[in-house]
Structure 1
C-alpha cells in the first residue's frame, strides 16, 4: 500500500465511523414518539413526558451539528497536513523523542480540548440549564477544565513518556512493558480513584449517622458485604441528576451516594440501588471487567507493536521523519473499527452483568423497590424510554428500563 492510499483509507475510516454513529442517532430519534409500554406508563406524567421528548430532540440535533463540525475540523486538519505542522513545532523545541512526543500530543490534546469548550459550554449552560439540570457555575466549569488539562499533562504525559521510553530501549517488545505499566495504573485507579481523583473535583463526606446509614449497614451485614465506609458526594454542585457507585477493591471498597440520590429516593429505594451495586461485587463483575480491560489493552498494544515501526504510517500523514507519536495517531484510526467491535462485545457483557446485579438485588433485598428507584431515576434524568434496538445493542452498557423491569418481574 502506498502512503497516498493509506491516507485515504484513514479518511474513509473516520467518515464511515461518523456515518454509522449518525445513522444510529437518526434511527433512535425516530423512536422518540413511540407509544410507551404499559410497564412504563407511570414513569412520566404527560407534561413531563413531552419535556423528555423535547430534551432528547434538542440533544439529538446538538450532537448531529457538533459531531459534523468536529468531523469537518478533523478532515481539514488531515488535508492541510496538520500533523506534519504540529510535528515540526514539537521538533523545533527538542530532538529528544520523548520530549517531542510529549509536546506533539500536548498540542493536539490541549488544542482539541480548547476547541471543544464552546460545545461543552453550550450543552451545560444552554441545554442542561433550559431543562433544569445544570447547577454548575461558570467559575466551576472553567476550574474543572483547568484541572482536567493539568491531570492530562501530569498523568497522561507521565504514562506516555514511559511508553515512548520503553519503545526507545526495547523496540518491538515495548508493548510488554507498556502493558505491565498500564495494567498497574488501571489497578491503582480502581483501588484509589475515589481517594485520589474524586476529591479534586467533588467533596466527599461520610454519610451521617441515622436511619438510612443504619439500614445500609444492616443490609451489608446480612449479605456479608464488608463495607469500609459510605460516602455522600456533592453531585448537586454540578447537576440535579442522581447516581450511586461502588469503587475500590479489597479493604479499599466503598459505596458513594450522590446527594441528589438521597434527595430523590426513599430509604428502601436507596438500599435497593446499593443492593444492585453489591451484586456487582458479589458476582465478581468488578474483577472480571478489570481483567477484560487489561486483556484488551494487551491485545491493542501487541497490534500496535506490529505496525508502529512502519514508516508508511508517518508518510501517510505527510511526516518525513518516522516517529512513535505519528505512528500512534495513524494506528489509532486504523484500529478504531476493531475498537468499535470490542466495545460492542464489552457492552453485551456489561448488560448481562446488569441483569445479574438486578437479580441479586431482587433476591437479597426488594425487586419492586429497585424498579421504583429505576423509574424515578429515569424520570428525573428525562431518560429515553423507547430507544431503537440497534442503538441499545451497539452503544448501551445497561439494558433499557423496560428490559430491566421485565427481568425483575419474571
Structure 2
C-alpha cells in the first residue's frame, strides 16, 4: 500500500516540515517590517525610500508565500495520489528505452511545473517589478528568455541527464564515480566558458572602452598584481535597473563583467572598490575553495544516490510499480532535503566569512570608504532589506547584511 510505505510517510513528513520551517523563517522576517526607520539605518535611507523599500519587501514576501504554498500543495497532491508512479506507468506504455523514458518523464514534469510557475514569474516581472520601477524588460524579451531557457534545458540538461542515466544503468556500483567525473568536467567547462557561450544568448557584452574607468581599474589591477585584460560591460539595463558585477573564469579566461546599470549608478572609485572586492575573492582563493567544496559535495550526493536509487520501496512510495532511475532521483531529492539544509547552513557561514575577507582585501588598498558608499547606493537602489531577522540571515544569507559589512569595514 502506498500510504503504509515507511518511505512515503518519511517523504510526506519532510515535505511538510520543510514548508513549515521555510514559512516560519519568512514570518519572522515579516515581523520586522515597519515604515519607521530603525536608528542604525538613519542616513542610509530617507523616509520616502524606506517606506517604498518596506512596501516592496512586503509585496515580495506575500508573492513568495503564495508561490511556495502553490508548489507545496501541488507536490502534496502529487505525492498523496501517487501521480509520479502513474506518469511512469503511462509513459511505459509508449516508451521502452529507459533513457528515453527518463527524459520523457522529467520533460513532462518540467513543462507542467512551468505551467504553474510561469504566470507567477510573469506577474513578478510585469506587475511587481514594474510597480517599483525595476522592470525594463518587454514582453518580447520575456518570452524569448523563456524560449531560450527551455532550449538550453533540453539541449544541455537533456544531454547530461541522458548520460548520467546511462552511467547508473550500465556501470553498476561504480557508476557514481563516472557520474561524478562527468558533472565535474561539465562544471569546470561552464566556469571557464559560461560568459563566452551562455551569457551572449541573453545579453550583449562589449569590451570596456579605454576611458577613465578602465584606466582606474587597470591601475588597481597593477597594484594588486592581478593581470586582467578582459573587462566587459553587459547591457543588463534592457531587463532591469538593478546593478551588479561579477568575476568569472580562471587563468587566461578570467573575465570581469560590469552591468551597465552599475556604471550608471556608481562613481569610478566605487566601481573600483566593488571590483577590488571581487578580486579579493580570487586572491584569497575563495573561487577555488568553493569549486573544491562543490566537487566534493557532488561526489557525496552521487554516492548516497547510488545507495537508494533502485530501492523498490522508494519506487512504491511514489506510486510506481517498478524501480527506475527517475523515481529514485525524485525520492532521493526529497529525502536529502534535511541534509541539504544542514550543509547549507555551513556553506552560508563560510560564504559570509569569505565576504568579510574580500571586503577587508579591498579596504587594504584604501578603498573602504568608496566600498561602503557603493554598497549603500546599491542597496538603496535595489530596495534591499537592510534590517532582516537574524535567524533568517543565519539560514539564508550568503552575504553579511549591509550594516554588518559597514561595521566591519569601519574597523
TM-score range, shorter chain: over 0.9
Map 1:116-155 to 2 at 5 A: 116-155=117-156
Unaligned runs of at least 5 residues, structure 2? none
User: Residue 232 of structure 2 aligns to a residue in which SS?
Assistant: strand
User: Residue 383 of structure 1 aligns to a residue in which SS?
Assistant: coil
Hey, what does 1:181 align to over in structure 2? 182
TM-score, length basis structure 2: 0.97
Contact 1:279 1:357 in 2 (8 A): yes
Hey, what does 1:17 align to over in structure 2? 18
Contact 2:5 2:313 in 1 (8 A): no
Map 1:327-366 to 2 at 5 A: 327-366=328-367
Q: Kindly state the Cα deviation for residue 36 of structure 1 after the two structures are TM-superposed.
A: 4.7
Q: Report the aligned-residue RMSD.
A: 1.4
More off after superposition, 151-160 vs 352-361: 151-160
Map 1:220-299 to 2 at 5 A: 220-299=221-300
User: Residue 277 of structure 2 aligns to a residue in which SS?
Assistant: helix
Cα distance in 2 for residues equivalent to 1:354 and 1:89: 49
Contact 1:86 1:104 in 2 (8 A): yes
Cα deviation 1:273-300 (Å, max 9, x = unaligned):
0000000000000000000000100010
User: Residue 256 of structure 2 aligns to a residue in which SS?
Assistant: strand
User: Residue 257 of structure 2 aligns to a residue in which SS?
Assistant: strand
User: Residue 246 of structure 1 aligns to a residue in which SS?
Assistant: strand
Q: Kindly state the Cα deviation for residue 110 of structure 1 after the two structures are TM-superposed.
A: 2.2
Contact 2:362 2:368 in 1 (8 A): yes
Cα deviation 1:277-325 (Å, max 9, x = unaligned):
0000000000000000001000101111111121111011111021111
Q: Kindly state the Cα deviation for residue 11 of structure 1 after the two structures are TM-superposed.
A: 1.2
Q: Kindly state the Cα deviation for residue 35 of structure 1 after the two structures are TM-superposed.
A: 6.1
Hey, what does 1:58 align to over in structure 2? 59
User: Residue 364 of structure 1 aligns to a residue in which SS?
Assistant: coil
Cα distance in 2 for residues equivalent to 1:167 and 1:74: 26
Hey, what does 2:111 align to over in structure 1? 110
Q: Kindly state the Cα deviation for residue 38 of structure 1 after the two structures are TM-superposed.
A: 4.7
Cα distance in 2 for residues equivalent to 1:146 and 1:255: 27
Contact 1:272 1:365 in 2 (8 A): no
Cα distance in 2 for residues equivalent to 1:365 and 1:82: 60
Cα distance in 2 for residues equivalent to 1:93 and 1:371: 61
Hey, what does 1:73 align to over in structure 2? 74
Q: 1:351 to 1:312 in 2, by over 3 A?
A: same
Cα distance in 2 for residues equivalent to 1:276 and 1:139: 36
Q: Kindly state the Cα deviation for residue 88 of structure 1 after the two structures are TM-superposed.
A: 2.5
Q: Kindly state the Cα deviation for residue 114 of structure 1 after the two structures are TM-superposed.
A: 2.5
Contact 1:275 1:365 in 2 (8 A): no
Q: Kindly state the Cα deviation for residue 51 of structure 1 after the two structures are TM-superposed.
A: 0.3
More off after superposition, 69-78 vs 373-382: 69-78
Contact 1:175 1:302 in 2 (8 A): yes
